[in-house]
Structure 1
Amino acid sequence: MLSSLPFEIEELDEAIRRAHASLAAEQRADGHYVYELEADATIPAEYVLLEHFLDRIDPELQARIGVFLRAIQGDSPQNPGGWPLFHDGAMDLSASVKAYFALKAIGDSPDAPHMRRARTAILARGGAARTNVFTRIQLALFGALPWHACPVMPVEIMLLPDWFPINIWKISYWSRTVIAPLLVLMTERPIARNPHRVGIEELFVTPPGEVRDYIRGPYRSRWGHAFKALDSALRPLERFIPGRRRAIQAAIDFITPRLNGEDGLGAIYPAMANTVMMYHTLGYAPDHPDYATAWNAVRKLITDASGRFDGATYVQPCLSPIWDTSLAAHALAETAGVGDERVAAACDWLIPRQILDVKGDWAHRKPDAPPGGWAFQYNNAHYPDVDDTAVVGMILDRNGDPAHREAVERARLWVLGMQSKSGGWGAFDSDNEFTYLNHIPFADHGALLDPPTADVTARCVSFLGQLNHPEDRAAIDRGVAYLRRDQEADGSWFGRWGTNYIYGTWSVLCALNAAGLNHDDPAITRAADWLIARQRDDGGWGEDCESYADAPHGEYHQSLPSQTAWALLGLMAAGRCDHPAVARGIAWLQSVQEDDGSWTEQPYNAVGFPRVFYLRYHGYPRFFPLMAMARYRNLSLGNSGRVGYGF
C-alpha cells in the first residue's frame, strides 16, 4: 500500500524516527516519564503568600518566582496589564490580584511600571472586592478583607451525615481535600504573620470594610438565591454552633491518614498549602511530623523554569508521572511495536504503582469495587482515577507481558465497579452528580463535583473494548449509550480534561472504534465530518481555551501539534485514514517538527476546571504527534497489528 501515501515514505519514516529518538531520550533511567505541568500565575503567587503567612520566607526563591510572574504578565489589548488563566488569554481578575500581591510581597514597588499597569487593569475590573471566593479567603487570611467577604462554611460540615444535602462525601475528591483544612482556617480565622506588613489597599475601589455585597450573583439558578438566603441566615448564628472542637478534630482525623507522605494531601497544591496553614494555625511546631510532611510536599512542586525565562522558578499544581509514562509508552509502542524494551521498562515502572491495598474515598459509594486503579501522581493511594487506570491498562494489555495480566484484570474489575448509574464514568468518584451544590456561594467556580464526562467515559469504554471480555458487553453498551446521549448537536463531544471539543471528539471516536461500532454509524460520521470541517487552511487543527466559554468550538487562530494529533487520531479511529484531510494533517506535523525531532506549543492544552483553571501539559506535544504519525504509517501500510485500538 505504499502508493497510498501522498508523500515519500522515506520522509515520513525519518520524521517518525527522529521523534521516537527524541522521546526515547527523555525516558528516566527507571523507565518512567514526567514532564512539567504548568498552570497560571495563581499557584506561584499563592506559594509566595504562603511563605509570608508562615514567616518562612526564602528571598532567593521568591526572587526567582518574581521573574516568572513578571514574564507571564499580560501586555495586549485584551489584557493590558493583568494575568491570564492561559497563554494569550484575557485578564483574570483573581489571578491578577494574587500575582500583584505576591510581587508586592517579594518587594516590587507599587510605582514600578508593571505594577501600575496591573493596578490600573485590576481597578478597571472592579478591584479586589470582586475576586472569586478562594481569592477573598486568601485576602481575609492577610487581613486585607473582612471575613464577612467570604461565604459561611462552618467546620461542622465535617460532621454532617451522608443523608444530609450538604456533606463532605457529596463533593469531588479535589474539593474534599481542599475544603477539609480550609474549613478549619475559616473557623479559626487566623491572620498571617506577614512580617513585612504588606497590604493591597490600593487595589480596592471602595474600602473593603464598606463593601456590603461580597456574596452576590449573578446566580446560575434558583438554587443560588436559596443558598444566598441560607448564607445570610447562618451568619449571625455561626459562632453559636455547638461541637466546634469536635468538628475541627474530625477535619484533622480526615486529613491525617490521607497526608500521603511527601506527595501531599490529594497530591494537589491547594490541599497541601491549606494543610500547612491549618497546622500552623492550630499551633503545631514546624518540626511536628505531620506539619513537616505537609510542608515538604508543597516544596516538592517547586520547579525550575530557567529554560524558558532566565532565572525563573514556578510552582506546579501537581506532578503527572503516571499519565506521562503511560501516554509516552503508547507512542513508543505505536512506533517500535509491542515488546520494545522502552515500552517494557515503562510498563515495569507502572506495575508496582497500582493501588491494591487501599480502599480510597471512591469506596464510600462503591464499597464492593475491588481496588485496582492507578493515580495520576507518583503516590496518591486514596485517589486513583479511572482515566489513568484505563490508559495504563491499555498499554499493559497491548504490550502483552503475561506477568502483567493480573494487573490488567484488577484494573478491569475496578473500572467496571466505578461505572455510574447513567452508564458514564467520572474521574475519581461514581454518581457524583449533586448538581445543586455547585450553586452554594462557596462554589462560585462551579467545580465542586466530579460527574461522568464524555472523555473519561470514552477512555473506560476503550479499555473494556480493547480487552473484549464478553461478560463486559453490557457495561460497554451502557457506556456507548451514555456517549450517544452526550454528543453535541454539531457532532462533537465536550472535553472535560483536555482542550476541548477536539479532545473530547478524538476520545469518543477511539472508544466507539474499540467498542466495535461500524464506521458508518451516524454518531461516528457526524463526528468525523465535524473534525474535517474544523481543519485549518495550513492542514492543522487548534482550539481556543475560550471554547469553554463562548468561543467557537474547535477553532483557534493557529494550528497546534497536540490538537492536530488528536484530530488525526480521531479521524483514523473513524475509518478515515485515506481522507485527504488526514494526509494534510500529517504533512503539517512534519512541517513544524523541530530540529530535535519533537514539537512544542505555548498555548494551554488541558483544563483543571473549565473557565477557572487551565493546564499546559509539556509532554503532550512530545508524544501525541509521534503517535499520530506512526499510526498513520501503520494503517497506510497495512500494519494494523501494530495499531493501538483503544487509544
Structure 2
Amino acid sequence: MSETSFRQKLGATAIEQAIEGSHAALGRRQNDDGHWVFELEADATIPAEYVLLEHFLDRIDADRQQKIGVYLRRIQGDHGGWPLYQDGGFDISATVKAYFALKAIGDDPEALHMRRARAAILQRGGAERSNVFTRIQLALFGEVPWDAVPVMPVELMLLPRKAFFSVWNMSYWSRTVIAPLLVLSARKPKAINPQNVHVQELFKTPPAHVKDWIRGPYRSIWGRAFKGLDTLLRPIVPHLPKVTHEKAIAVAISFIEERLSAGGLGAIYPAMANVVMMYRTLGVPDDDPRAVQAWQALQDLMVEKDGEIYCQPCVSPVWDTGLSGLAMMEAASGPKGTKTPETMKALRKAAAWLRERQILDVKGDWAINAPSLRPGGWAFQYENDYYPDVDDTAVVGMLLQRIDPEENHEAIERAREWIIGMQSSNGGWGAFDIDNDLEALNHIPFSDHGALLDPPTADVSARCVSFLSQLGHPEDRPVIEKGLAYLRAEQEKNGSWFGRWGTNYIYGTWSVLCALNIAGVPHDDAMVKRAVRWLESVQNPDGGWGEDCASYEGAEPGRYKESLPTQTAWATLALMAVGRRDTEAVEKGMAYLAQAQDEHGEWHEEPYNAVGFPKVFYLRYHGYKQFFPLTALSRYRNLGTSNSGHVEYGF
C-alpha cells in the first residue's frame, strides 16, 4: 500500500487526530505532582497469597476478602484452574493458592468452580506437585510438614560474597524474598488460621505419607547433585550450633531493617509479606513502627474497581513516568508537534519529580561488585533506594536529556556514570546487579522457578546502549562497542532477540533495533536485515502484531491469535528505527493503531505484555497500551515531515 492509498483509506488527518486524542488522554492521566502511574497486574497468586496472609495473622478484612474473591473467580480459566496470564494454560501452583484463598474467604468446596479447580489439581498430581513457594505457604498453615521445603538454613546469611551459596550471588529479588523467609524457616511458625481452613482434599497422597517432595524433573546434572546435598544436609542442620543459628537470625534481621522503607523490603510483594510474617513470628507487636510500616506498604499495593480488589506485585511509577514522558515528548516534537507551553510545563514537572527520586546517597546491594562506583540510578518504585534499576535509569536519562539537557545535566551525568559502571564483563547489563550469572544456582531445589539470578539481557543492554549513544560522549564509545558485541552475539537464529522483561521476541527485537540505529550500526548490516525479515514475517493480516506469553514456554515467537496495540507499536517503532518508515508493513501497522483507538484517545487489550519470571510469573502493565502506540504514531508522523527521515533517539 502506498502512502497515498494509505492516507486515502484512513483520511488525510487520521494520524494527526489519533496523536492528538492520545496525547490529550495520556496528559489527563498525569498526577498533579508530575508523575504517571498505571496499574501493574499479575496472576491469581499474589491476591491469593494476600488473603492467606490475613488469615495467617488473624487480621481479616471481610469486605476486602469478598472483593478479592470476586476477582479470583472471574479470572479462573476454562480448564478449571488458574493460568499465569490471559488465556494461559493450567498452573498447579497458582490454582492451589487460589483454591485455598477462596476456601478461606468462605466459598463452599462443593461449589462448581471449586469442584472444577480441585479436580484439575488432582488430575495433575495433587498439591504435592506444586512449586516450592506454594509448599512454603502450605507449611505455614500446617498443611504439609516443613520437610516439604528444600533445606535453606538461616546460616546462609553468614556466608561471604565469595561463597558459592552466598545470598550475594543471588538476584536482588531473591535476596529480599529469602532473607525474611530464612527466619521463618528457622522458627517454623504456624498460621493463626482463625477459621480453621484446611485443604487436605487437594493432595493425592496424604502429606505425611509423601516420601519425596523434591523429585525433579531436574534441568541438569546440577539439579541431581543439589538434591543429594539437600538429602545430606537435612539431618545436619538441626544440630548446627545454637549460637551460630541465633547470630544468623540477627544478621538476617539487620539486613532486612537496613533496607526497610515506606515502600517495604525491596518494594515487591513476596518480600514485603515475608517481613510482616517474620515480625509477627518474632513477637513484634503490630503497633511497633516497623510492623506498621511493613503492613502499610502492602496496603498501598491494593487496587479496587468495579466491585473487585486485587493486589499488585509492586508499583511502577518511575517506569511509567519515564515511558509516558517519552511518548508525550515524541508527540510534542516535529514540525506538526504540539510542543505548547502547557505540554512542556507538564514535562518539566515530570522531570522535576524524577530528579527528586534519583538515588544519589545510598550504595545499594549493587555496590558489592562495584564498591567505588557512585550511586546515580532510579528505582522502579516510589521508594526502593537499595535497588535502583538499570533499565529505568536508562529510560529516565533519555527522557531528561530530551526535555532539557542543561537543566538536567547533573542528573544525566550521574546516571551515565552509574550505567557505565554497571556493565557486566560480557558487555551486557543486568537489571539490578553486575555479573550476577552463577548459573548453577538456578538448579538448587529452592530455585525450581529457575529465576534466582539477574544475568545480562538483550533488552536491558539495548536500553543502556541507546542511552549512552544518545548522550554521544566520544569517550563512551568503547563501552558502547562492548555492548554492541554482546547484542550481536545474543541474536536468535530467526533474527529476533529474546525480551527478558517484556513479551517477548517482539519486545526484545524492538529494544535492540532502536539501540543499533542510534549507535550507528548500518541499516544494511546482516543482523539488522535478519531482524527486519523476522518482524515482517510475523505481521498479521490486519496490519498489527501480537505475541503470546506462551513464547516464553516454547510457543512460536511473535505470534498470537490477535493483534495488540502494544506489540504493534513495538514492531513499527523497531522497523522505523532502521529506515523502514515508508514500507507497507509500517503503514499497515499505523492503520491498525489508528483504527483500534477508541473515542477517548485510548487503546484496549487484555493479554499480558511482560514477565517477572518466565514460566512462573507474568505481568500486565496497564500503561503500555496507552503510551507505546502514542510514541509509534508520533514517530511515524515526525519521520514523514523531517528532512532526513532518520530516527534521532534510541527509543
TM-based fold match above 0.5:
yes
Give the match for residue 132 of structure 2.
133
Match of 2:21 among 6, 18, 21: 18
RMSD, matched Cα: 1.3
Q: Are the aligned partners of 1:68 and 1:312 in contact in 2 as well (CA < 8 Å)?
A: yes
Task: Report the TM-score, using the length of structure 2 for normalisation.
Answer: 0.96
Give the match for residue 269 of structure 1.
269
1:52 paired to 2:55: yes
Counterparts of 1:82 and 1:166, CA distance in 2: 35
Residues 207-226 of structure 1 mapped to structure 2, 5 A cutoff: 207-226=206-225
Give the match for residue 163 of structure 1.
162
Compared with structure 1, are the counterparts of its residues 488 and 643 closer, same or farther at alpha carbon in structure 2 (3 Å cutoff)? closer
Q: Are the aligned partners of 1:398 and 1:644 in contact in 2 as well (CA < 8 Å)?
A: no
Specify the code of the residue in structure 2 equivalent to 1:42.
T
Q: Which stretch shifts more, 128-137 or 214-223?
A: 214-223
Give the match for residue 93 of structure 2.
94
Specify the code of the residue in structure 2 equivalent to 1:20.
H
1:287 paired to 2:283: no
Spell out, residue by residue over 1:357-410, the C-alpha distance to the aligned partner (whole angstroms, 9 max, x if none). Answer: 101000010112211000000111000011000000001001125221110000
Give the match for residue 465 of structure 1.
469
Match of 1:327 among 323, 329, 336: 323
Match of 2:623 among 616, 619, 625: 619
Counterparts of 1:168 and 1:404, CA distance in 2: 36
Quote the offset at 1:638 in angstroms.
1.4
Quote the offset at 1:165 in angstroms.
0.7
Give the match for residue 460 of structure 2.
456
Residues 109-148 of structure 1 mapped to structure 2, 5 A cutoff: 109-148=108-147
Quote the offset at 1:4 in angstroms.
6.3
Quote the offset at 1:83 in angstroms.
0.4
Match of 2:408 among 384, 404, 407: 404
Give the match for residue 258 of structure 1.
259
Quote the offset at 1:288 in angstroms.
1.1
Spell out, residue by residue over 1:450-505, the C-alpha distance to the aligned partner (whole angstroms, 9 max, x if none). Answer: 00000000000000010010000000000000000000011000000000000000
Spell out, residue by residue over 1:155-174, the C-alpha distance to the aligned partner (whole angstroms, 9 max, x if none). Answer: 00000112211101000000
Spell out, residue by residue over 1:303-343, the C-alpha distance to the aligned partner (whole angstroms, 9 max, x if none). Answer: 1132xxxx100000000000000100000000113672222
Residues 177-216 of structure 1 mapped to structure 2, 5 A cutoff: 177-216=176-215
Counterparts of 2:415 and 2:514, CA distance in 1: 19
Q: Secondary structure at the match of 1:402?
A: coil
5+ residue gaps in structure 1? none
Task: Report the TM-score, using the length of structure 1 for normalisation.
Answer: 0.97
- Aligned residue pairs: how many? 637
Counterparts of 1:521 and 1:107, CA distance in 2: 61
Specify the code of the residue in structure 2 equivalent to 1:274.
N
1:373 paired to 2:377: yes
Compared with structure 1, are the counterparts of its residues 640 and 368 closer, same or farther at alpha carbon in structure 2 (3 Å cutoff)? farther
1:558 paired to 2:554: no
Residues 404-443 of structure 1 mapped to structure 2, 5 A cutoff: 404-443=408-447
Give the match for residue 71 of structure 2.
68
Q: Secondary structure at the match of 1:340?
A: helix
Counterparts of 1:293 and 1:133, CA distance in 2: 28
Specify the code of the residue in structure 1 equivalent to 2:234.
R
- Which 4+ stretches in 1 moved above 4 angstroms? 2-5, 639-644
Match of 1:317 among 313, 316, 333: 313
Q: Secondary structure at the match of 1:303?
A: strand
Quote the offset at 1:545 in angstroms.
0.3
Spell out, residue by residue over 1:14-40, the C-alpha distance to the aligned partner (whole angstroms, 9 max, x if none). Answer: 111111111111111111100000000
1:605 paired to 2:609: yes
Match of 1:348 among 352, 363, 374: 352
Compared with structure 1, are the counterparts of its residues 643 and 598 closer, same or farther at alpha carbon in structure 2 (3 Å cutoff)? farther
Specify the code of the residue in structure 1 equivalent to 2:195.
H
Specify the code of the residue in structure 1 equivalent to 2:506.
I
Q: Are the aligned partners of 2:96 and 2:121 in contact in 1 as well (CA < 8 Å)?
A: yes
Quote the offset at 1:411 in angstroms.
0.3
Q: Are the aligned partners of 1:334 and 1:642 in contact in 2 as well (CA < 8 Å)?
A: no
Q: Which stretch shifts more, 241-250 or 33-42?
A: 241-250
Give the match for residue 42 of structure 1.
45
Q: Are the aligned partners of 1:634 and 1:642 in contact in 2 as well (CA < 8 Å)?
A: no
Quote the offset at 1:644 in angstroms.
5.3
Q: Secondary structure at the match of 1:382?
A: coil
Q: Are the aligned partners of 2:639 and 2:645 in contact in 1 as well (CA < 8 Å)?
A: no
Quote the offset at 1:639 in angstroms.
6.3
Q: Are the aligned partners of 1:334 and 1:644 in contact in 2 as well (CA < 8 Å)?
A: no
Quote the offset at 1:642 in angstroms.
10
Quote the offset at 1:637 in angstroms.
1.5
Give the match for residue 480 of structure 1.
484
Percent pairwise identity: 63
Counterparts of 1:74 and 1:11, CA distance in 2: 38
1:493 paired to 2:500: no
1:81 paired to 2:80: yes
Q: Are the aligned partners of 1:334 and 1:643 in contact in 2 as well (CA < 8 Å)?
A: no
